[in-house]
Structure 1
Amino acid sequence: MWNYDLFKRAITLSYKRFRRILAGEIMEQRLANSLIMTVNEKNFIEAALLSDLRVDGRRPFDYRKLSISFGREDGSSEVQLGNTRVMGFVTGQLVQPYRDRPNEGTLAIYTEFSPMADPSFEAGRPGESAIELGRIVDRGLRESRAVDTESLCVISGKLVWAIRIDLHIIDNGGNLVDASNVAALAALSTFRRPECTLGGEDGQEVIVHPPEAREPLPLIIHHLPVAVTFAFIGKENVVVIDPTHHEEAVMGGSMTATLNTNGDVCAIQKAGGEGVLQSVIMQCLRIASVKSGDITSKIKSAVESYNTERSLRKIKRHNPPAGYKH
């Protein structure tokens, strides 16, 4: 029997849904579901994991190859984790501080997903996945107080440095969180802000010195909170570290643990509806503690090499005068 009221309600709901789509309010599908896979492919990945094998030849707790490089400008980094590539850029500007924290600068993270990195990414305003990625990286940095924000204060209550981290996803090969986290830490470690002094008649005029006049100052970073992501796959909840894009497509949940070299847990993010035993979580934390130490060493080694090259570039080489002999 025709039910006009039910039909009208359905039309109204469809229209509201259409409006929400236009407004960008409907949550995007998780990146893991953007990869179309057959049932046989999913079953093969799960069956292989039961034998402690992965489709790319790794063991369950093996990390992919991690490489870190830098641009010629301070505060720019590029990280490649397997087939995943992320670029990080750090900038700073003088702003008015928050009223409740007049002596502290600010730290903000923004992510950009390019359709070139993954067909499921849409250009324009950031989607739910981009916002979630930024929050996970941001939580590990800010809640652990890794960056000394008080050192960013120029004039209490008037001027502080606002540090902005932009993360650009170049290739999505899985585990964007860990790659983005390393890109952010590497860029922060090489960023330098202009030195500021006070002058003028009242001594409250801020003078921002160009890099040619005074050497820019690096950020004060107390420790490096490194994110390590685990995926839980199949009915048996097989645990693997650093999941690829294919493994993300079949995982039932994931967990990102952010730790530093001291073993301090800075943040934990659990995603997905599958429950995880406490013993499994503790095992993941022990493994993450070791992996975070290895990644920290790679970041510090890469930053040290960059600083050495930067110092060599700044050395002024003068041509010897005419007639000069050794």
Structure 2
Amino acid sequence: MPREAELSLNEREFLLQALRENVRLDGRPFDTFRNVELKFGEEYGVADVQLGKTRIVVRVSCDVTAPYPDRKFDGIFNITTEFSPMASPAFEVGRPNESEVILSRILEKAIRRSSALDTESLCIIAGQKCFAVRADIHVLDHDGGLVDAACIALIAALQHFRRPDVTVEGENVTVYSLREREPVPLAMLHHPLCVTFSYFHSGEVVLVDATLAEEQVRESEVIVTMNRHGEICQIAKYGGSPIDAVSLLTCTSSALGKVQALWKYIQEKLDEDAKKRDAGGLMAELSAENAR
């Protein structure tokens, strides 16, 4: 089975020795993210995020379908992940590795189980028809920080997405195209984001947003998911090094500032995209058609 290219013993020792001397190889402070770049596609619901050299694209789509029998008043929301072989030699199509399994579990708990998306708003006719929203996460380049980058891209794509407008007359449902009616944004109850902390030297050194090289030599990791109000959605720990309560509280306190900064950045990019779309383009045309 293909594996990630591992660091040599000299490279590992050099990186760990640098961390002992409070130095990161890329020059960042221990508690700082790499540069985040967020772009949106031409169609609604496409978000392209670059975190350092890590790149992830998320595409959100929806269809009208029947709800689950035991959830008659809810719509459907699914998250799928795809790791491209061009991102890393360890990724194979159709054969999920450990990174893909962890990413799927974290996002499932962070977004779906925390009810970030109001699935009741996706119901059209109870027990008969609803919207099925699907988020496809594509990893195009891997240099560490997959969970953090994927969560940023997913939240941004969900906020950017617009579902078709519908009208219901009895049991007849009319789904309008983009040209017929302005699409409707999804109802988001809150916006959870992930911050990953990596531990080295028995917990003496803690890094935010580790690169791939740093991930290969860390002893354990803690993933804190919270929204901008400081409400913790989940705390996940992987690895063997024990984490004490004081360190955990420090992580959650540090994560809050990071989450608030990331949320603000996402909102700024969404506002920029909305202004571009409203500047006499399709939105102006739709408004004129609706007025007529």
Q: Which has the higher Rg, Structure 1 or Structure 2?
A: 1
Unmatched segments (≥5 aa) in structure 1: 1-20, 22-27, 317-326
Residue 94 of structure 1 and its aligned partner are, at CA, apart by: 1.5
Show the counterpart of 1:226.
193
Structure 1 position 311 matched with structure 2 position 278: yes
Residue 39 of structure 1 and its aligned partner are, at CA, apart by: 1.4
- Secondary structure at the counterpart of residue 131 of structure 1: helix
- 41, 44, 53: which one pairs with 2:14? 44
**Distance in structure 2 (CA, Å) of the matches to 1:160 and 1:247:** 44
Deviations 1:40-85 (A, max 9, x none): 2111211211222101101110111111001100000100001100
Show the counterpart of 1:266.
233
**Distance in structure 1 (CA, Å) of the matches to 2:216 and 2:166:** 49
- 58, 63, 73: which one pairs with 1:93? 63
Give the TM-score normalised by the residue count of structure 1: 0.84
- Secondary structure at the counterpart of residue 199 of structure 2: strand
- 285, 299, 308: which one pairs with 2:266? 299
- 103, 116, 126: which one pairs with 2:73? 103
Structure 1 position 171 matched with structure 2 position 141: yes
Q: Is the 8 A contact 1:144 1:266 kept in 2?
A: yes
Unmatched segments (≥5 aa) in structure 2: 286-292
Aligned residue type for 1:96:
A
Aligned residue type for 2:88:
D
- 92, 97, 105: which one pairs with 1:135? 105
Deviations 1:280-324 (A, max 9, x none): 1110110001100000001111111111112222234xxxxxxxx
Show the counterpart of 1:288.
255
**Distance in structure 2 (CA, Å) of the matches to 1:227 and 1:292:** 7
RMSD of aligned Cα (Å): 1.6
Q: Is the 8 A contact 2:144 2:215 kept in 1?
A: yes
| Equivalences for residues 174-189 of structure 1 within 5 A | 174-189=144-159
Q: Which runs of 4+ in 1 moved over 6 A?
A: none
Q: Is the 8 A contact 1:111 1:126 kept in 2?
A: no
Q: Given the superposition, is the C-alpha separation of residues 254 and 209 from structure 1 closer, same or farther in structure 2, using an over 3 Å criterion?
A: same
Residue 237 of structure 1 and its aligned partner are, at CA, apart by: 4.4
Q: Is the 8 A contact 2:37 2:50 kept in 1?
A: yes
Q: Is the 8 A contact 1:78 1:87 kept in 2?
A: yes
Identical residues among aligned pairs (%)? 38
Aligned residue type for 2:14:
F
Q: Is the 8 A contact 1:35 1:246 kept in 2?
A: no
Q: Is the 8 A contact 1:35 1:249 kept in 2?
A: no
Residue 242 of structure 1 and its aligned partner are, at CA, apart by: 0.3
**Distance in structure 2 (CA, Å) of the matches to 1:129 and 1:223:** 26
Residue 109 of structure 1 and its aligned partner are, at CA, apart by: 0.8
- 202, 212, 217: which one pairs with 1:245? 212
Q: Is the 8 A contact 2:203 2:243 kept in 1?
A: no
Show the counterpart of 1:59.
29
Show the counterpart of 1:213.
180
Give the TM-score normalised by the residue count of structure 2: 0.93
**Distance in structure 2 (CA, Å) of the matches to 1:306 and 1:75:** 12
Residue 236 of structure 1 and its aligned partner are, at CA, apart by: 4.5
- Secondary structure at the counterpart of residue 255 of structure 1: strand
- Secondary structure at the counterpart of residue 116 of structure 1: coil
Q: Is the 8 A contact 1:109 1:166 kept in 2?
A: yes
Aligned residue type for 2:163:
R
Aligned residue type for 1:88:
V
Q: Is the 8 A contact 2:79 2:134 kept in 1?
A: yes
Aligned residue type for 2:93:
A
Residue 219 of structure 1 and its aligned partner are, at CA, apart by: 0.2
| Equivalences for residues 62-73 of structure 1 within 5 A | 62-73=32-43
